[in-house]
């Protein structure tokens, strides 16, 4: 079964919009676990506009499932990850001013840099994943960095799926998944996956270990509740 890691950033966005501690991000993370999530993801950014560095530190000792911290490996992020020592770190090439992640790494151009970053985290026993577009050459170069996994950036899949172009949506990801398997990398995926498109994706992507879903999941939970939403994702990931 493909694991579901819930990205809880949007709980923090809502909290920060009003001040105070509603919703309680720590409780939300524990509730996600209680409702069946097999992991919790956070993406702390330097401006702390949603998840704060303190949230990340506070979450680490209370979680019972896999903790995944994603972000651009600037110095403060590296220090945070080494301090918290999560199960997994996902390297994302975010510019400081982007609203959300909008591209994967150019692993050929940044290979030496990524190799050094992966070495730092793997020396501490932290599984390292690199956020990439579904490009076989990019994935082959990712394998040279020493990372353990790649996470496929799925925005284009979601875009084409939403207009009925399912084959156009899925084909690059099938090829990317097969390439990852051939070069010995584990496979994760995330970005704009939702209850409408996750089943088709899971059904066609071999060797998919984990999906990280946040924005859509929290939006869907507004209508059908957090527990029902998580259980619906687990059903899609299990049965398709």
What amino acid positions are annotated as catalytic residues? 43, 70, 191
Output the CA torsion sign for 86, 175, 140, 194. Answer: negative
User: How many C-alpha atoms does 111 have within 13 Å on its Cβ side?
Assistant: 11
Residue 139: C-alpha distances to residues 53, 92, 135 (Å): 30, 14, 6
Is residue 126 classed as helix, strand or coil in its secondary structure? coil
d(CA 146, CA 167): 32
Query: Distance between the two ends of the chain, CA-based, in angstroms?
Result: 10
* Residue labelled with tokens 């390439």: 179
d(CA 194, CA 223): 14
């Amino acid at each position: 079964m493909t694991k579901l890691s819930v990205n809880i950033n949007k709980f923090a966005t809502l909290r920060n919009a009003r001040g105070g501690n509603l919703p309680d991000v720590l409780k939300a993370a524990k509730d996600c676990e209680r409702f069946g999530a097999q992991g919790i993801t956070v993406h702390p950014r330097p401006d702390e506009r949603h998840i704060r560095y303190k949230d990340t530190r506070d979450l680490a000792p209370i979680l019972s499932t896999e903790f995944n911290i994603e972000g651009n490996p600037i110095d403060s992020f590296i220090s945070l990850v080494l301090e918290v020592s999560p199960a997994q770190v996902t390297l994302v090439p975010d510019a400081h001013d982007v609203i959300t992640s909008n591209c994967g790494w150019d692993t050929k151009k940044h290979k030496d840099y990524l190799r050094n970053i992966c070495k730092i985290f793997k020396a501490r026993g932290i599984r390292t994943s690199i956020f990439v577009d579904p490009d076989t050459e990019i994935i082959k170069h990712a394998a040279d960095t020493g990372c353990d996994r790649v996470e496929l950036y799925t925005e284009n899949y979601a875009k084409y799926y939403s207009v009925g172009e399912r084959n156009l949506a899925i084909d690059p990801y099938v090829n990317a998944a097969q390439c990852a398997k051939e070069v010995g990398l584990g496979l994760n995926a995330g970005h704009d996956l939702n209850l409408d498109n996750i089943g088709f994706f899971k059904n066609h992507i071999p060797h998919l270990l984990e999906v990280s879903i946040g924005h859509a999941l929290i939006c869907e939970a507004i209508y059908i509740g957090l527990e029902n939403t998580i259980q619906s994702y687990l059903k899609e990931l299990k049965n398709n």
